[in-house]
Chains A and B, each alone.
Chain A
Amino acid sequence: MDRTLVERARQGDHAAFAILAESSTDRLYGVATLILRDSDRAQDAVQEALVSAWRDVRGLRDPEAWDAWIHRLVVRACYREADRHRRRRLLAETFDPTPPTIGDGYTELADRDEIERGFRRLTVEQRAILVLHFHGGLSAAETGAVLGIAEGTAKSRLSRALHAMRAALEADARTIQLNPRRPA
């Protein structure tokens, strides 16, 4: 992140914002796709977050906080997307998982499928904190900065999200044992 670009964007320089937006899009889309597990809704979330970023860039007090701030906007947009989706009661029908990469062997694919199912059982808030930590590589303090919560709170929520993930995996394993014809 170039501090100068952020400062120029805050002064209304749209060309500077364009560079920031173009350099952020891939990363934000990855985060949104992981959280929402739906490519169409992830596209909407990223677009909404970037439009919000331009609209509110003058409200960003510290240019160094651009990365945390833009991630916060995209996580927030994911929450809204999830809310809208939940309201439409279409979650189960329109789920569109990103297909896993082929070529790592059957066992690994089965594991990924299991992780995918477990992950989808989590709330969007739980997914977000796991994605920021395990995909984004953010520390608890950095995750807290993105989510607007204290470091200690981020730690406890990460712990609870992991606990929920383990519980979801165990529940999934029990389901498969009860229904062995279901593909693993």
Chain B
Amino acid sequence: MNASNDVERSLAQWMEAVVPKRAPDFIAPSVLAQTRAMSPRPAWLARLLEHPMHTQLSLRRAAGFGRSTRLILAGLLVVALVAGAILVGSHLVQQRSLPPPFGPAGNGLIAANIDGSVVVMQPDGSDVHRLALPFAGVARMAFSRGGTRLAAWWTPDPASGAELGLMVSEADGSDAFELGTTRYALHDTSRIEWSPDDRRFAFSDGSDRLFVADVDGRSVREVAPDATIRARRGPTWSPDGQLAYRCETTDGVLHLCVMGADFKAERILKTSPGTEFAFQHSSWSHDGTRIAYYVDDVIDHPATSPGWDVATIDPETGVEHILTRGTAEHTILPVWTPDSRFILVAGGIVAADGSGVRLIGAACGWTSPSPDGRFAICVAADPPSRLELWPVEGGAPITLPLDGRPETVAWQRLSP
């Protein structure tokens, strides 16, 4: 066949000729046998864990250089490395010298995202008021660690709601501005992660691209220094400004990656044995000594585990500790308490020393700690118009009924 022939027609005919008309008879019975004893995930969890599809058609190719060009580049590289080392060194010193607001503090305010607005209240549910923000469809707000700033997504086209913009304001909603004009399609778990110094925040979009926003500079940039990594999701900051996140190399393998505070280099800290959901939305402890993530025991330990379990890793040594085994709930979306003693997960509270896990119900979605670390708060899925405040050390939950259905909840830290 000549290549100039009608390729489209030939392709269609070839596919029609070679496609099998029937599947092997065992496939459907095998699937039904596997799924019969399996309960479908709750809707919110299924959407949270949806894996994005990589649809890039070709991988980036490294540019080819001649020998002389390489020599010149090598010389320039040496000069750049020396200059870079000086700059990075001074930058890191600056990062570490910042006084990050880690550690326990007095409790602040609770903010719930209801009907495209931010509703703020006292921790006992009193003094409910709506922030006056000049943006429509505000969602997934996050207060900076010091509690002085607010960042959130907003919806330029509420009819479609497909793409979102970024907004920043003071914590009370004043001085609001749009951060850049880029629109982002988001994954259900895309959330804003403020840096320890409150000057920046990081997030990943629905295509698993990692961005860092410079709030003072009013700019957003994608950070992707290593071309062999094709996807980055769910960043979390270390106290000294490094980022950890789930990454996927171009060979399809999932890893836990760490990027330096200068965003110029990244390294693989841990590689998944092949699970689909491992390392999503990890959390760096506030003392900087551990990163919490979850492992997918459905695949890793199918004989013993019905869901996911939580592990921590020392970012310096790479030593991993699996804290739970065969936990009945989906122990995903880990978040450290400020004192680094507990890890809150969807549906549970895990002791960071591995001494136990306390289940608080699958109805709790993303759970976050109060600024003093004493409470875990979550949006209750059923019935939906309430928040639940669980004492971390034990005890019955406090229920906060709301006028409206909250989508997300966050704490605003107040100075103690």
Question: Which A residues contact B (CB, under 8 angstroms)?
Answer: 10, 12, 14, 17-18, 21-22, 25-26, 28-30, 33-34, 39, 43, 46-47, 50-51, 54-61, 72, 75-76, 79-80, 82-84, 86-87, 97-98, 100-101, 104, 110-112, 114-116, 119, 123, 125-126, 129-131, 134-135, 147-149, 157, 160-162, 164-166, 169-170, 172-173
Please name all residues of chain B whose beta carbon is closer than 8 Å to the beta carbon of A55 when the two chains form the complex.
35, 38, 40-41, 46
Q: Is B174 an interface residue (CB 8 A)?
A: no
Q: Give, as a whole number of angstroms, the nearest-CB distance from B5 to chain A.
A: 8
Give Cα A12 to B17, complex, Å.
38
Give Cα A82 to B53, complex, Å.
13
Give Cα A14 to B28, complex, Å.
13
One digit per residue, 1 when the CB lies within 8 angstroms of any chain A CB and 0 when it does not, for chain B 18-62 equals 111111100110111011101111111111011111111110000
A29 touches which one: B20, B46, B49 (CB < 8 A)?
B20
Q: Is B77 an interface residue (CB 8 A)?
A: no
Please name all residues of chain B whose beta carbon is closer than 8 Å to the beta carbon of A39 when the two chains form the complex.
20
Q: How many A-B residue pairs have CB under 8 A?
A: 170
Chain A residue at minimum C-beta to C-beta distance from B52: A148
With contact pairs A76-B51, A147-B55 given, residues A135 and B15 touching in the complex (Cβ less than 8 Å): yes
Q: Is B180 an interface residue (CB 8 A)?
A: no
With contact pairs A76-B53, A104-B17 given, residues A134 and B251 touching in the complex (Cβ less than 8 Å): no
Give Cα A47 to B34, complex, Å.
9
Q: Is B3 an interface residue (CB 8 A)?
A: yes
Are B57 and A34 in contact (CB-based, < 8 A)? no
With contact pairs A86-B252, A123-B57 given, residues A34 and B35 touching in the complex (Cβ less than 8 Å): no
Are A161 and B57 in contact (CB-based, < 8 A)? yes
Please name all residues of chain B whose beta carbon is closer than 8 Å to the beta carbon of A148 when the two chains form the complex.
52-53, 55
Are A111 and B31 in contact (CB-based, < 8 A)? no
Within 253-305 of B, Cβ neighbours of A (below 8 Å) are at: 253, 274, 276
B14 touches which one: A29, A82, A112 (CB < 8 A)?
A112
B32 touches which one: A10, A21, A84, A173 (CB < 8 A)?
A21
Please name all residues of chain A whose beta carbon is closer than 8 Å to the beta carbon of B10 when the two chains form the complex.
111, 115
Please name all residues of chain B whose beta carbon is closer than 8 Å to the beta carbon of A100 when the two chains form the complex.
17-18
Please name all residues of chain B whose beta carbon is closer than 8 Å to the beta carbon of A28 when the two chains form the complex.
23
Chain B residue at minimum C-beta to C-beta distance from A122: B57
Q: Give, as a whole number of angstroms, the nearest-CB distance from B24 to chain A.
A: 6
Q: Is B316 an interface residue (CB 8 A)?
A: no
Q: Give, as a whole number of angstroms, the nearest-CB distance from B404 to chain A.
A: 21
Are A173 and B251 in contact (CB-based, < 8 A)? no
A125 touches which one: B18, B54, B251 (CB < 8 A)?
B54
Q: A34-B15, A123-B58 are in contact. List 15 more A-B contacts (CB 8 A).
A: A21-B32, A26-B21, A29-B20, A30-B20, A30-B21, A47-B30, A55-B46, A57-B46, A61-B47, A80-B276, A112-B18, A114-B1, A126-B57, A157-B57, A169-B7
Give Cα A72 to B52, complex, Å.
10
A58 touches which one: B18, B42, B53, B57 (CB < 8 A)?
B42
Chain B residue at minimum C-beta to C-beta distance from A169: B3
Give Cα A166 to B2, complex, Å.
10
Q: Give, as a whole number of angstroms, the nearest-CB distance from B277 to chain A.
A: 11
Are A56 and B50 in contact (CB-based, < 8 A)? yes
Q: Give, as a whole number of angstroms, the nearest-CB distance from A8 to chain B.
A: 12
Give Cα A157 to B55, complex, Å.
9
Give Cα A170 to B34, complex, Å.
45
Give Cα A14 to B20, complex, Å.
27
Are B23 and A25 in contact (CB-based, < 8 A)? yes
Are B28 and A21 in contact (CB-based, < 8 A)? yes
With contact pairs A14-B35, A26-B22 given, residues A173 and B41 touching in the complex (Cβ less than 8 Å): no
Please name all residues of chain A whose beta carbon is closer than 8 Å to the beta carbon of B28 when the two chains form the complex.
18, 21-22, 25, 50
